[in-house]
Chains A and B, each alone.
Chain A
């Protein structure tokens, strides 16, 4: 009797009609990539996906981070023999915690002598007689749910308590690509995660203002990209020197418009890089109304500089909800490290919350936009995780 891993796909994948095969193949490839270095065998048995491996714990840990996987369970592989099945079912009930149980059976192997109702009833009766202690059957809300699947070569038995919830979503790489503006704060890694979860390939761009921001701030952004890369495949981080642009803006533009003009430059550079590396869209961690630059007018004015869709997956989320996701995906602790650029030098005292497009465009005429962008892109640093 051996243990296997049962991988349950997110049900959305099965709704893909003619594209279903493509999604499934991608998902299996992605799981394979995540398990690199571990010896595994894939078993596909009429709609069920199993993995046989010696390193069950580690494999489950990794598979549960693959987008498109709903749940991962440890299951027992049992010979197709009723006595063995009922023994394993009893064992499973014993090792679970709870006072009520239910047996549910799925018989794909129609040659098996009992039908699924009969299997459930007989195994249930066997458990009731042989369980030492207080236990009863509850078919509506059992504490312990034992699944029995009888298939062509083997039967499989598992308890729902052996299941690990996975991240769900859609297979990574199925839904185009985006250039995420990663800042080092709490929001942007969450935005990147949510896009990746829906199958969008993520690259990152970070604007570095040395000496106004420290090397430690840069390291922190690298750490965040590394954490994101646990969920995705290889992530490229583009580090763009931004000091000269900021200086030019400060020297030439109105103080209350510094922030919005800076954001427009960030948007432009993200688009230029996206174009250069064949990336479909850009993405930010903005949430409406969170800070002075994330007002409706502010977003409209910065969108003006984008030549492709600018996605903001957090737009309608509360900070507390964003923080909760950040904690769950493991970026929160890194995001709150105090290496934020300590310098308030670039933050105007009273930034405009309702910038108007025409006025901002006019203000920007004082700057040589193309040349500034060209110069900073020439000195870009690329790091892959």
Chain B
């Protein structure tokens, strides 16, 4: 039996998406920038995809820019908005493409405030309010945290930004949430939103960024005038077509899928009661995404447990790699520390991340192998 519980790392593309990508390569090979009919056909296809994606977040077609995915989107926003002397507010547990980009920008005299995190993993809204100054030009927040799945209250954050600054822009890293949660860019007053296709059964290497009009960003890549001058380079039509179809499928079933994975997480947590000496770091409530279940298994190292599970065809991620100092530096386990976990609990952390394709039987199988593995690995005390 193969159980894929690592859907926050990436997802298996839908079969329809694979066919769509293949169709894109076969039928839409014309360059959308070409003047002839074949080019026009591709350009129309792109427009169609753009419109479809725009509808999913209540935006308009000209606010959707295709790119290579989440990291590129995050880089574009930070580098495009922050200039020497400007002020950024963000959280300490953002994705590496945010945190490492900030490090570079700080050398260039960009000021950064990392928001305090409450015990439940949410940003301290009071601190946000106090931190906004006249120099604040950007607030960047990850909607759903990739490690434990805390869901930030975008509505409240947006409200505070709006009330306290008429200058600051609001960026949402929606890589883990797009297609899983309803996002209304207009209602939430979002200026930038980054999305990556492979997190919702689309192809890898493609994504989009929503930029509220009028666009004032500078491009990362100079060249032709594709993507309204924001991103030079011939568009990846097959990838974009695959992404659009995947987006269409998941967005049509947000509620249904949510319930499905909610049941899976529920069953998992119920079954975990059979196992001793664990700590559930992302309980089943509205503060956490049902797509992510982070559990600490005391007395073992996550990485070792991961390798044990893979032998039975079970694929998961570690909460934080025990050898990886780098990860600690970029704040990977910051959120776990904030939640009051001990060192032992952090190093024994495993992230199970679900998709609507997972089945409840899979949970039973994983629990069975888990308890076998823990008996084996806990033979020695360490």
Residue contact B379 to A251, C-beta cutoff 8 Å: yes
Q: Which residues of B contact A213 (CB under 8 A)?
A: 307
Contact A338 to B382, CB < 8 A, known contacts A211-B311, A343-B303, A345-B301 = no
Please report which residues of chain B, range 277-313, place their CB below 8 angstroms from some CB of chain A when the two chains form the complex: 301, 303-308, 310-311
A319 within 8 A of B: no
Main secondary structure of the interface of A (DSSP, over half): loop
Residue contact A210 to B307, C-beta cutoff 8 Å: yes
Q: Which residues of B contact A214 (CB under 8 A)?
A: 303, 307
Distance in angstroms from B332 CB to nearest chain A CB is 15
B166 within 8 A of A: no
B216 within 8 A of A: no
Distance in angstroms from A211 CB to nearest chain B CB is 3
Q: Which residues of B contact A300 (CB under 8 A)?
A: none
One of A210, A215, A251, A342 near B303 (C-beta < 8 A): A342
Residue contact B304 to A211, C-beta cutoff 8 Å: yes
Residue contact B380 to A247, C-beta cutoff 8 Å: yes
Name the residue on A nearest B373 (C-beta).
A211
Distance in angstroms from B349 CB to nearest chain A CB is 14
Residue contact B382 to A345, C-beta cutoff 8 Å: yes
Q: Which residues of A contact B382 (CB under 8 A)?
A: 345
Q: Which residues of A contact B377 (CB under 8 A)?
A: 211
Q: Which residues of B contact A251 (CB under 8 A)?
A: 379-380
Name the residue on B nearest A216 (C-beta).
B307
Contact-residue size bin, chain B (C-beta under 8 Å from the other chain): 10 to 19
Residue contact A343 to B304, C-beta cutoff 8 Å: yes
A215–B311 alpha-carbon span in the complex (Å)? 10
A342–B308 alpha-carbon span in the complex (Å)? 14
A343–B323 alpha-carbon span in the complex (Å)? 8
A131 within 8 A of B: no
B322 within 8 A of A: yes
Distance in angstroms from A177 CB to nearest chain B CB is 34
A338–B306 alpha-carbon span in the complex (Å)? 17
Please report which residues of chain A, range 313-346, place their CB below 8 angstroms from some CB of chain B when the two chains form the complex: 338, 340, 342-343, 345
A211–B323 alpha-carbon span in the complex (Å)? 15
Please report which residues of chain B, range 290-345, place their CB below 8 angstroms from some CB of chain A when the two chains form the complex: 301, 303-308, 310-311, 321-324
Residue contact A247 to B308, C-beta cutoff 8 Å: no
A215–B305 alpha-carbon span in the complex (Å)? 13
One of A211, A215, A338, A345 near B308 (C-beta < 8 A): A211
Name the residue on B nearest A212 (C-beta).
B304
Distance in angstroms from A190 CB to nearest chain B CB is 23
Q: Which residues of B contact A212 (CB under 8 A)?
A: 304, 307
Q: Which residues of B contact A345 (CB under 8 A)?
A: 301, 304, 380, 382
Residue contact B321 to A342, C-beta cutoff 8 Å: yes
Q: Which residues of A contact B310 (CB under 8 A)?
A: 211, 215
A212–B302 alpha-carbon span in the complex (Å)? 10
A345–B303 alpha-carbon span in the complex (Å)? 12
A160–B303 alpha-carbon span in the complex (Å)? 55
A250 within 8 A of B: yes
Distance in angstroms from B220 CB to nearest chain A CB is 29
Binary contact readout A166-192 vs B (1 if CB under 8 angstroms, 0 otherwise): 000000000000000000000000000
A340–B324 alpha-carbon span in the complex (Å)? 11
A180–B351 alpha-carbon span in the complex (Å)? 39
Residue contact B301 to A343, C-beta cutoff 8 Å: yes
Q: Which residues of B contact A342 (CB under 8 A)?
A: 301, 303, 321-324
A213–B307 alpha-carbon span in the complex (Å)? 8
Distance in angstroms from A205 CB to nearest chain B CB is 21
Q: Which residues of A contact B321 (CB under 8 A)?
A: 342
A251–B376 alpha-carbon span in the complex (Å)? 13
One of A211, A247, A250, A338 near B307 (C-beta < 8 A): A211
Please report which residues of chain A, range 231-263, place their CB below 8 angstroms from some CB of chain B when the two chains form the complex: 247, 250-251
Q: Which residues of A contact B380 (CB under 8 A)?
A: 247, 250-251, 345
Interface residues of B (CB under 8 A from A): 301, 303-308, 310-311, 321-324, 377, 379-380, 382
**10 nearest CB pairs, A to B:** A342-B323, A211-B307, A211-B308, A342-B322, A250-B380, A345-B382, A211-B304, A214-B307, A212-B304, A342-B303
